[in-house]
Structure 1
Amino acid sequence: MKRDAELGDIIVEFVRNGAYLKCSAVHVKTGVEVSALGPAREPNAVERVAVAKLKRALENR
């Protein structure tokens, strides 16, 4: 579990498939889930994209 200053608690999960990495981010309070794909060698970048997508998804609710 990760804590974000804006969102609160987020569950982050990584699944690798060859050269690709899927990062899923779930907002604990609302259950909203998003995912992002990217290169497996850049897990921090893929996580940043997933968290940014989660912020946008929550803004649009």
Structure 2
Amino acid sequence: MPGEVLFEFVQMGQVMRVAAIDEVTGTEVFVITPVNASRLHMQRLAHAKLMKKLGEPEPVAEPKKPGKYA
């Protein structure tokens, strides 16, 4: 069972290196994202990669509401 997830952000030019670390196991993964991506998007991407590595099931995405272009 994963514990609290810690995030580390390091900007390297036009990209951001985002590390996600499981506090309990010490397992760490990282992703590279565009520096202009939202911080929330960066965290979600890194968190999803960490959960996959830890063997946790991915959360079910909420269905999109039908709209004009759906």
TM norm. shorter chain > 0.5: yes
Gaps of 5+ in 1: 1-5
Q: How many residues align?
A: 55
Q: Report which of the two has the higher share of helix.
A: 1
3-state secondary structure, aligned to 1:31: coil
RMSD: 1.8
Gaps of 5+ in 2: 57-70
Q: Report which of the two has the higher share of strand.
A: 1
| Aligned partners of 1:36 and 1:47 also within 8 Å | no
Identity fraction in percent: 31
Moved over 3 A (4+): none
Bigger Rg, structure 1 or 2: 2
